Chains A and B, each alone.
Chain A
Amino acid sequence: MNEATLSASLEDYLEAIFHIVRKKHAARPKDISKFLEVGNSSVTGALRALKARKLVNYAPYDLVTLTPTGEELARDVVRRHESLREFFIKVLAAGNELADEAACKMEHAVPADLVDRFVRFVEFIEMCPHGGPGLLEGFRNHIEKGCRPTCFDECRFESSPPTSHGHPLGAGEIATMADLKPGQHATITRVQGEGPLRRRLMDLGIITGTPITMERSAPLGDPLEILVKGTHLSLRREEAKAVRVRIDV
């Protein structure tokens, strides 16, 4: 993000607008002041500042919506918040309120890369529940070599780094399913897309944390064939773009 210099309080505003818009499609300044428990005048000031950065659509006395850039940035803040919160609750066994409060404060300060590691640690713990002395080493391998978190033992003992040179996207990188090359393995990190498509994807087992393999594309380049949970599925590239994955090997 180029607007990385956004102040903590502006990030809070962005986050608040995001939550309100998600619920009501557009936010009124009144909603925002209520949400953040601040005065109307501070809201107006913040909205001007956000508008100047082209993050919100706003005119006095009008409804507030996020611009595409604003929404992306807001999603990032929300993701950081939720990730930290999840880490506190799941790993540190903190209570909901404490976790929320701490996440609120830390979300602005912790670098994005570190937040990503928090997320992956939670994932790793969930998928490799055996623990033991090799746990942290396994996690290091998981982060550095991009071993699949499902293959804990492999992660622990594998010594040679995966040879993914020459591929435009290497292990550990985040991509969409449509970016995968035939033969590449990946783990689903997020399923986006609209109602019926998302549901259909989910019903066929395409959900977060599921490992997939790109098999091939059709002779004319589209659709794609993937292997998920022992089933061969075909889907079009545009549909595959709705699925975010992390490349494993």
Chain B
Amino acid sequence: MPNILSLVETNRDFAAPGSKFVTLAGNPNSGKTSLFNALTGAYQHVGNYPGVTVERKEAKRHFRDLDLRVMDLPGTYSLATNSLEERVARDVLVTEHPDVTVSVVDSSNLERNLYLTVQLLELGLPVVVALNMVDVAKSRGTVVDTAKLSALLRSPVVTTVARRAKGVEDLLEAIRERSIFPAPSEFRVDYGPDIEREIERLDGLLAMADPGIEPMARRGLAIALLEGIASERTEDFGRGILDAAGDAVDRIERLHGDPMDILIAERRHGAAMGLARQTVTTSAERRRDLTDLIDRVLVNRVLGLPIFLGTMYAVFFFTFSVADAPMGWIESAFGRIGNLVGGIWPAGSDSLLRSLIVDGVIGGVGGVLVFLPNIVLLFLAISLLEDSGYMARAAFVMDRVMKSVGLHGKSFIPMLLGFGCSIPAIMATRTIESRRARLTTMLVIPLMSCSARLPIYALIIPAFFATQWRASVLWIMYLIGVALAMVSAWLLRKTLFAGGDLPFLMELPPYRLPTMRSVMQHMAERSWLYVRKAGTIILGISIVMWALATFPRLDPETAAAGEPTVADASAEAGNDLAARQLAHSLVGRIGHAMEPVIAPMGFDWRIGTALVGAFAAKEVFVAQLGIVYSVESPEDTGAAHLREQLQADYTPLVGFCIMLFALIASPCMATVAVIRRESGSWGWAAFQFFGLTVLAWIVTILVFQIGTLLNLGT
């Protein structure tokens, strides 16, 4: 017992200084992350595990004479290597040798949570059990005998209420003691005579192969071999031991008629059940609790869908409408900063540096930060939904719909957010555990007509369609996007991401009141991640886009040669100059060069140029088209003028095709940057970019050619 020893050894506190590595392991919804936050405070490092998108959270904590490095492992129900999270958790535990592992346990649901604790002990790791949420357990009339549990598990047990930072000092003290006396617990699950015999046999072989392994860890390794969990550890021991394990599994399965992993899991559950029965006393009758009552309404057969849709509307409204004003402020603030900085140069100067700083850098930073209100509010909403427990219900309600295209219920919310903006929508896919489902969702999100497409629709529709048709055409654009997204998702799931997926199986956690602290922390974490990771990429691309629109420059003489026809129309002359500059630039040249490719869609170089510019942000299409046509401020007063020009040059069919292409083709650079960041590879970003562009090209050509044949809107 570490406690007794510690009395003897307190004087030797100084003998165990230095830094210790502590990991937190626990089920999802066990309050693990809250405990991590309570242990370490706000200064955390959030990164990814190499090669995967599972988050790796670490923070430092100084306690008495120890420097603790604390890591929050992904929430898992077991340490079998079924999912990415489980593999990551097991790898850290087995290969990084934490000095102490805290097993975070939901006291109100002891039996199921102890199933993981048992596995942690089996790895031969020094464990401290944190009996979390004792307040919830108590309110349900459940009391856990801590001393008895500690004696049975032969490990220290501490009670905590992480949400209120209670018991944190005790836990730190227990961690400290455990790290000084790191001998693994002697606790073992009794697997029954047949399996125990095989464990012993493998244990003997392992001891011969590597006499250095600690006995409890060796037993754990033998059990892992029987479970068929392959790790780099087991590979080291060579074929002999793997074959012996295979034979053992054959023998047991023949004897018992059940697969080995089931037999082992049953025994472990039996052990967890036994531990819970011996230590839990329930005084109150088990009654329907608040969660049951709330669920009767929220996932009710009749009310469930309307309530869900209402909630989604609220999230949507909150994320995009409330963000509108701050986004406007950010835009105008950057406009003003641009003017201010631009004012340093004499009026009318066409200094390159000025243009780079004002249009490239300041414009680029503004382009990054303008999404920030969206992202902050979105993650505020998502944190509230997740922490309260409604997120799982949302997936529960919508799964039937998403299943039909091979997606998960959790894909619905990100896709819905795609109507507002792809950036937060793609970031919201983080809640989807299955990587295949998550990638599929990310890849089709840009097909949802985001709010930046609206200015394009708003320019084109009134130019070509009679008043009574306008609403329908707009509606059709949105529907085409949704239909294409569904079809693409289905196709991706049939081909690239076929099969091999995790089951839907998901816990519906009890409803809880979210705490301010965790919601704020989550929000700050995500927003900062966006600025730091995606922001730098977006800034880089904006400067490249600036360069493309600026170089090569018209030389002054050529510029002057464009003679202003009317004396007082200097503004028009300026616009004309801008138009010729754009046509002369790389963007314009690309637009020209694209003409043969885009001609089958009915587009000319002007539209091509505007489309290239639209890569910076979809709504830039309107501005660029305005420049090409030398129209001042096409967004508002000039819009009517620009529409006249468009009417003169194009047919309604071409107008429709422009919208169609803008809807489907190449997502904006911010989307590309976020896909790169969230998928972990440029490959997926490129795949999406080219895939959607090719899809747009094919669809638009089909529509234009068939439309022309049928004489529709020509």
Contact = CB atoms under 8 A, between A and B. Distances in A.
Contacts of A236: 399, 403, 503-504
A229 B396 contact: no
A210 B505 CA distance: 17
Interface stretch (B298-306, B342-350, B579-587): B298-306
B257 A200 contact: no
A218 to B, nearest CB: 5
A200 B502 contact: yes
A20 to B, nearest CB: 11
Contacts of A196: 82, 502-503
A234 B510 CA distance: 13
Contacts of A19: 254
A230 to B, nearest CB: 5
Contacts of B491: none
B82 A79 contact: no
Interface in A221-240: 221-223, 225, 229-236, 239
B112 A223 contact: no
A198 interface: yes
Nearest to A217: B301
A82 interface: yes
A19 B80 CA distance: 27
Interface string B502-523: 1111111110000000000000
Interface in A131-167: none
B497 interface: no
Contacts of B250: 23
B401 A220 contact: yes
Interface string A192-205: 00001111111111
Interface in B366-409: 392, 395-397, 399-401, 403, 409
B109 A231 contact: yes
A19 B400 CA distance: 39
Contact of A205 (B115, B253, B392, B395): B115
B266 A219 contact: no
A181 to B, nearest CB: 13
B396 A225 contact: yes
A67 interface: no
A204 B397 contact: no
Contacts of B576: none
Nearest to B253: A22
B503 A235 contact: yes
Contacts of B396: 218, 223, 225, 234
A151 B256 CA distance: 27
A219 B77 contact: no
B262 interface: yes
Contacts of A82: 256-257
Contact of B115 (A198, A203, A208, A217): A203
Contacts, number: 129
Contact of A199 (B80, B301, B305, B508): B80
B103 interface: no
A78 B258 CA distance: 11
A234 B302 CA distance: 18
- Interface residue range, chain B: 35 or more
A233 B508 contact: yes
A108 interface: no
A204 B507 contact: yes
B122 interface: no
A33 B686 CA distance: 59
A21 interface: no
B392 A197 contact: no
A216 interface: yes
Contacts of A223: 396, 399-400, 409, 504
A134 B533 CA distance: 69
A94 interface: no
Contacts of A235: 503-506
Nearest to A82: B257
A41 to B, nearest CB: 27
B78 interface: yes
A72 B506 CA distance: 31
A239 B504 contact: yes
A178 interface: no
A198 B109 CA distance: 22
A191 interface: yes
A222 B304 CA distance: 13
Interface string B669-705: 0000000000000000000000000000000000000
Contact of B82 (A22, A200, A225, A234): A200
A73 to B, nearest CB: 15
A26 interface: no
A175 interface: no
A232 B507 contact: yes
Given A199-B82, A204-B112, A231 B507 contact: yes
B269 interface: yes
B503 A202 contact: no
Given A204-B77, A233-B506, A234-B505, A219 B112 contact: no
A79 B409 CA distance: 38
Contacts of B281: none
Contacts of A106: none
B529 interface: no
Contact of A232 (B259, B291, B301, B302): B291
B508 A219 contact: no
7 contacts: A201-B505, A202-B269, A222-B403, A229-B109, A230-B112, A234-B396, A234-B505
Interface of A: 19, 22-23, 78-79, 82, 191, 196-205, 207-208, 210, 215-223, 225, 229-236, 239
Given A202-B265, A223-B504, 15 more contacts: A191-B262, A198-B259, A198-B261, A199-B78, A201-B505, A210-B269, A216-B301, A218-B299, A222-B400, A225-B295, A229-B111, A232-B295, A234-B396, A236-B399, A236-B403
